[in-house]
Amino acid sequence: MMRIDINADVGESFGAYTIGDDQNLFQHITSANIACGFHAGDFNVMNDTVRKAKENGVAIGAHPGYPDLQGFGRRNLQMTPREIYNCLVYQIGALKMFAQVQGLAIQHVKPHGALYNTAAENPAVAKAIAEAVYDTVPDAYLFGLCNSELVKAGKEAGLKTASEAFADRQYTDDGRLCSRLLPNAVLKNHDEILQQVKEIIFHKRVKGISGGWIPLQADTICFHGDGANVVEHTALIRKALEQENVLVQSIGALA
């Protein structure tokens, strides 16, 4: 039986601002990437999101990003490896304690946005992230883009890793994510998203922007929690996968 984890970015609301429909999204995902207050989220939202994940049986993960609330963590910041390490220890540590007081452990860590994309290609940044994860939650998985420097760094640090593919993002011809500034970088049509997910799971490949196939081996598939109709998409796609005898479980349960 084929198996896959479905993850989504959640806990991105802060203060008076609501982002995403986490309550309903939790019914269809198996792993949650919880914002840690630097690119989105706040201390109240973090605690509430951990509680909602627990109530829905969804595994929790830290989703640390660059300290860039105004840019939602999607702008690349010039930070040294030491700064990145400290930035991640701070964020992971905060979520770790919110989880601990509710009797949970962090299943995984997945960097957010520009930090994630930089770590996919920059070995020094990837190493700083892997070291921060190992020093704070050494039993957690490190999520990284398939075939990326981040997955490589995680393995070298002695971490468990999970290679990630994206249900709703267009890929470059070298297997990276297309910039959101490009047209159609984010897939919005249900049939397109379902077809991409099926190619990833059943054929271990994804189509690049020029139409060629890129080989990949994904352990987990991401849906963006702030994406248009993401609740509907995750519900329908999970149902379609289960109808084809794909076991949908959290990455920890799949191990």
Contact 36, 62 (CB under 8 A): yes
Entry pTM? 0.95
Contact 7, 221 (CB under 8 A): yes
- Residue ranges and CATH numbers for the domains of the chain are 3-247 (3.20.20.370)
pLDDT at 183: 81
**Which residues have C-beta within 8 Å of that of residue 221, sequence separation ≥ 6?**
4, 5, 6, 7, 164, 165, 166, 167, 197, 200, 201
Q: pLDDT tens digits, the chain, 255 residues: what are they?
A: 899 999 999 999 999 999 999 999 999 999 999 999 999 999 999 999 999 999 999 999 999 999 999 999 999 999 999 999 999 999 999 999 999 999 999 999 999 999 999 999 999 999 999 999 999 999 999 999 999 999 999 999 999 999 999 999 999 999 999 988 888 888 888 999 999 999 999 999 999 999 999 999 999 999 976 666 889 999 999 999 999 999 999 999 876
Cα 209–224–194 angle (5° rounding)? 60
Contact 32, 230 (CB under 8 A): no
